[in-house]
Amino acid sequence: MTSSTNRRGQGLREFIDQKSYILAEIEGGQPLIRVWESLTDRNLFSGSYRSFCNYTTRYREVMKYAKDKAIVGGNESNFTAAVSGTDSTENRTAGESTMSDVKKTVHFTMQGKGGVGKSVVSAFITQYLLGKGSDVLPIDTDPVNATLAGYKAFQTYRVDLLDDDSNEINPRNFDGMMEKIFESEAEHIVIDNGASSFVPLVNYLSTNDVISLLQDSGIEVVLHTIVTAGQAQRDTLTGLDMLAKKFHDQDAKFIVWINEFWGEIEENGKTFTEMKVFERNKAAINAVITVPRLQATTFGEDLNRMLKAQLTFDEAINSDKFKIMEKQRIKTIKTKMFDNMAVALG
């Protein structure tokens, strides 16, 4: 077992010894933020919410590892050994997976302009990662158009941001998203956020120092934003600029998607990478992925039908609602799109 696992085992023992009363509330289904507030109000926990999440994340990770070891080993002693930070299973191979090997990544798809392809990008990311064999949890936080949640193949988790009484966005409801991120065992979590909740989410991430919280808990953060041509070009460039400025000092991956559905991104004869907004923010941008413009009457029409039906590439390719050449064109789009994504997402 690695020294990292030993440290986590030690941390779990201390956690159980010092904070055993917390476990009952957590395992009873209480949201972490509510448990932390209750404990701090009663002066039973003096740390920050971030440190509290670190404690509980470590608890869950170690318990998962311990249970896995018990199942693999087939006896109770392995479970006890794993919890205590010792490993009674001998002859582990160098390539055997341990708890410390598990890595979680959260993808936020955000843009303040509606109808520019945010849900399409989130659906592409989800399909690409699933195609690589990853465990993916899609989350839809769009209070108006929950497009990602409409994909039956994804089993998307929906976060309701609207208060029942006022029917307005309550930023506190993003806490439910954070709970799901921390409790999920998925390798990748893809969050599709709506235009109406763009500013509330950006402010929530910033004021609550969410990116640092995730990173301190060993979770990688990737910010995705979309730039498109046409009437929305100026607005989407402004949204990109806002995100880059807001989180430039955060160690988060920043990916820009160029959606050429309405044409190529161009301003005064300059392409996107030649524009001032790119020059200002290029140090923060890790990758640029292009969704190319398609021939409208063939490839474009087939893709639009697929998207309107909220089908994945594979569902469309295997559907009897698409003819042979329509399936071939969709397969071609998938291959080219995923090849583009592989460079940025690995």
The answer to whether residue 305 is domain-embedded is no
117: left (phi over 0), alpha (psi -120 to 50) or beta: left
The answer to whether residue 130 is domain-embedded is yes
- Distance between CA atoms of residues 77 and 70, nearest Å: 7
Distance CA 213, CA 217 (A): 6
Residue 200 lies in a domain: yes
Please tell me the distance from the alpha carbon of residue 175 to that of residue 269, in angstroms, as a whole number. 44
Do 96 and 111 fall into the same domain?
A: no
Does 314 reside within a domain? no
Tens digits of residue pLDDT in 66-81: 555 454 444 445 444 5
Tell me how far apart the alpha carbons of residues 179 and 183 are, in angstroms, rounded to a whole number. Answer: 6
95 lies in the same domain as 181: no
For the record, the structure tokens of 326 come out as 């329509």
Q: Same domain, yes or no, for 79 and 121?
A: no
pTM over 0.75: no
Domain boundary residue among 100, 126, 154?
100
Closest listed residue to residue 211, CA positions, set 173, 253, 169:
253
Q: Which of 57, 76, 100 is the last residue of a domain?
A: 100
Our count of domains for the chain comes to 2
The DSSP letter of residue 298 is I
- Give domain status of residue 193, yes or no: yes
Question: Is 127 found in the same domain as 268?
Answer: yes
Q: Are 287 and 107 in contact (CB under 8 A)?
A: no
Asked if residue 332 belongs to a domain, the reply is: no
Q: Which helix (H) or strand (E) holds 257?
A: strand 253-259
Domain closes at, from 100, 123, 138: 100
The reported pLDDT for the residue numbered 26 is 53
Please indicate, yes or no, if residue 204 is contained in any of the structural domains: yes
Same-domain status, 47 and 167: no
Question: Are residues 79 and 178 located together in one domain of the fold?
Answer: no
pLDDT of residue 80: 47
Give pLDDT, residue 41: 72
The verdict on residue 231 lying in a domain is yes
Say if residue 217 is in the same domain as residue 89. no
189/203 same-domain check: yes
- 212 plus 75 within the same structural domain: no
One domain for residues 207 and 163: yes
Boundaries of domain holding 83: 3-100
Q: How far apart are the first and last CA of the chain?
A: 28
pLDDT per position as a tens digit, 119-174 = 999 999 999 999 999 999 999 999 988 999 999 999 999 999 998 878 899 999 99
Residue 258 and residue 138 share a domain: yes
- The ranges of the chain with pLDDT < 50 are 1-21, 62, 65, 69, 71-76, 78-80, 82-102
- HSE-CB at 165 with a 13 A cutoff on CA atoms is 1
Quote the distance between the C-alpha of residue 291 and its chain's center. 20
Residues 91 and 111 in one domain: no
